[in-house]
Amino acid sequence: MFAYRFQFFLSLCSCSPHDTLRWVRNALPPISPSERLLCGPGPSNVEPAVLEAMQRPMLGHLDPEMHEILLEVVDMLRRVYRAQGGLVLPLQATGTSGMEAGLVNLVEPGEKVIVGSSGYFGARIAELARRRGAEVVEVSAEWGEHVPNRRLLAALDDHPDTRLVAVVHGETSTGCEHPLEALGAALRGSDALLMADCVTTLGGVELDFDGWGIDYAYSCTQKCLSAPPGMSPVAISDRALDRIRARRAPVPFSLDLLLLQDYWVERPATYHHTAPILHIYALHEALRLTLEEGLERRWARHTEAGTYFQQLATCAGFELLAEPAHQLAPLTAVRVPDGVDGKAVQSELLAEGIEVGGGLGPDAPAIWRVGLMGPNARTDTADRVFESLTAAVESQAAVAVAG
Ligand SMILES: Cc1ncc(COP(=O)(O)O)c(C=O)c1O
């Protein structure tokens, strides 16, 4: 105790009078987070213009001016999702709540759901569907493989009373992309709705909600859209809306899409909750920049950066986890070579200011997950991450040999 007090006294002596006053009043200094190049599975770095948008004057959530901004966000989201019918809006929540909102609004307890699962997030859909009380038919594949559509369709043949088929478009835990367009085409005419997790694909990978026959899609703001985490844009088809209107079981108030529609889209707007005004400004700016760049150009930029990084990695002898024909562009899972401490490599990169991810969850193989999303979807960023990664691997390999 005495030693602690003495140390405290010494720290006061070395402070400026202003700092000393603060100590005496027991106030902490403001935070000053380090600059990071965020090249993990997300969040990615936020565009400076998006951060600036968050500093514009606060409006109230019931201000008519704010309601115009909401409609602009919805309109831009429709263009980014390519969803003209049904309902489109962002939830005040992250991607997981977008997933949960889809399940609770579209599935009633006891109903059947088919889930394609070959990674952490496919398994999460299955888990949330079970929590909803659904009967889940999980169609699984190894991590790094995609679940072939023919297996999902065979499950549907075996369970014709299925209400919903759910897949992950971009499985961030493995870097594998699901052939979603083909699944939508194959399900056309079926009574089962198609739900797609587009958390890692919206704004970075080709996606056509209407054209591909998707009924419910959810995403996030913190990856290819380059805004901070905190919102989950969702799109709902007309027939999915009919299903929601006919639902018998109640849904949690905060995820009730019909109530949310009354605030986001219907005018005059009806209060549902206090909207996160500054996050909405951020999303508005992120969507504006996305459309200004052009969707096709943005997808091409993500493809170019991702495939460039993948070529660098494979040419250098690294092995990728995802099957090559289904490799996702914005996220690459690189296997950690034998004898290398993957976590130590991540720490070395972080000390240099670069964040990359590791394996997610207990079932994950030893991998690094490198995300080139939003402003980081560039070949020069890919070069920087790759050079730092290889340098860290060499230094860790040297440590292993020495040890
Ligand atoms: C494919 C996928 N689905 C769902 C989620 C969950 O999103 P969140 O962490 O924003 O809740 C993530 C998060 O990274 C994801 O990558």
What confidence tens digit (pLDDT) does each residue in 39-83 have?
A: 999 999 999 999 999 999 999 999 999 999 999 999 999 999 999
Q: By the 8 A CB rule, do 355 and 349 touch? A: yes
C-alpha–C-alpha distance, residues 176 and 323, integer Å: 7
Give me the pLDDT at residue 18, please: 66
Q: By the 8 A CB rule, do 244 and 106 touch? A: yes
CA of 346 to the centre of ligand 1 (A): 21
| Confidence at 4, pLDDT banded by 50, 70, 90 | very low
Which residues have C-beta within 8 Å of that of residue 13, sequence separation ≥ 6?
Answer: none
What's the pTM value of the predicted model, to 2 decimals?
0.94
CA of 229 to the centre of ligand 1 (A): 10
Mean pLDDT to the nearest integer, 328-354:
97
**96 Cα nearest atom in ligand 1:** 11
| DSSP assigned state of 326 | G
C-alpha–C-alpha distance, residues 109 and 107, integer Å: 7
**42 Cα nearest atom in ligand 1:** 14
CB 217 less than 6 A from any atom of ligand 1: no
C-alpha–C-alpha distance, residues 101 and 98, integer Å: 5
Give me the pLDDT at residue 267, please: 96
CB 199 less than 6 A from any atom of ligand 1: yes
Condensed to tens digits (0 to 9), the pLDDT of residues 196-221 reads 999 999 999 999 999 999 999 999 99
CB 172 less than 6 A from any atom of ligand 1: yes
Closest CA to 205 of 115, 304, 73, 123: 304
Closest CA to 47 of 277, 377, 339, 371: 377
**168 Cα nearest atom in ligand 1:** 1
| DSSP assigned state of 145 | S
CB 81 less than 6 A from any atom of ligand 1: no
CA of 337 to the centre of ligand 1 (A): 26
Closest CA to 332 of 353, 350, 316, 352: 316
Give me the pLDDT at residue 8, please: 47
Mean pLDDT estimate for the chain: 94
**173 Cα nearest atom in ligand 1:** 16
Give me the pLDDT at residue 7, please: 53
CB 176 less than 6 A from any atom of ligand 1: no
CA of 253 to the centre of ligand 1 (A): 22
CA of 125 to the centre of ligand 1 (A): 11
CA of 26 to the centre of ligand 1 (A): 38
Burial class of residue 387 in the structure, from the number of CB atoms within 10 Å of its CB (0-12 exposed, 13-18 middle, 19+ buried): exposed
CB 357 less than 6 A from any atom of ligand 1: no
CB 371 less than 6 A from any atom of ligand 1: no
Cα–Cα separations (whole angstroms), residue 254 to 82, 105, 261: 26, 11, 12
Cα–Cα separations (whole angstroms), residue 194 to 95, 165, 190, 215, 391: 17, 5, 10, 5, 44
Q: How many distinct helices (H) and strands (E) make up the chain? A: 14, 14
Give me the pLDDT at residue 23, please: 65
CA of 187 to the centre of ligand 1 (A): 25
Judging by DSSP bridges, how do beta strands 112-117 and 135-140 pair with one another? parallel
CA of 199 to the centre of ligand 1 (A): 6
Q: Between residues 47 and 10, which one has the greater pLDDT? A: 47
Amino acid sitting at position 35: E
pLDDT surpasses 90 at 27: no
CB 200 less than 6 A from any atom of ligand 1: yes
Give me the pLDDT at residue 61, please: 97
Q: By the 8 A CB rule, do 236 and 86 touch? A: yes
C-alpha–C-alpha distance, residues 127 and 121, integer Å: 10
Q: By the 8 A CB rule, do 88 and 208 touch? A: no
Mean pLDDT to the nearest integer, 121-132:
98
Closest CA to 237 of 129, 105, 93, 96: 105
Give bridge partners of residue 216 from the DSSP assignment: 195, 236
CA of 197 to the centre of ligand 1 (A): 8
CA of 276 to the centre of ligand 1 (A): 20
C-alpha–C-alpha distance, residues 187 and 214, integer Å: 9
User: Which residue lies with its CA nearest to atom 8 of ligand 1?
Assistant: 95
pLDDT surpasses 80 at 399: no
User: Which residue lies with its CA nearest to atom 16 of ligand 1?
Assistant: 172
Give me the pLDDT at residue 397, please: 78
The residue assigned the tokens 């019918």 is 85
**222 Cα nearest atom in ligand 1:** 10
Q: By the 8 A CB rule, do 227 and 373 touch? A: no
Give me the pLDDT at residue 222, please: 98
CA of 119 to the centre of ligand 1 (A): 12
CB 41 less than 6 A from any atom of ligand 1: yes
Q: Between residues 397 and 123, which one has the greater pLDDT? A: 123
Give bridge partners of residue 225 from the DSSP assignment: none
Q: How many CA atoms lie within 13 A of 244 on its CB side?
A: 24
pLDDT surpasses 70 at 360: yes
Closest CA to 218 of 231, 205, 229, 204: 231
C-alpha–C-alpha distance, residues 335 and 369, integer Å: 9
Condensed to tens digits (0 to 9), the pLDDT of residues 278-334 reads 999 999 999 999 999 999 999 999 999 999 999 999 999 999 999 999 999 999 999
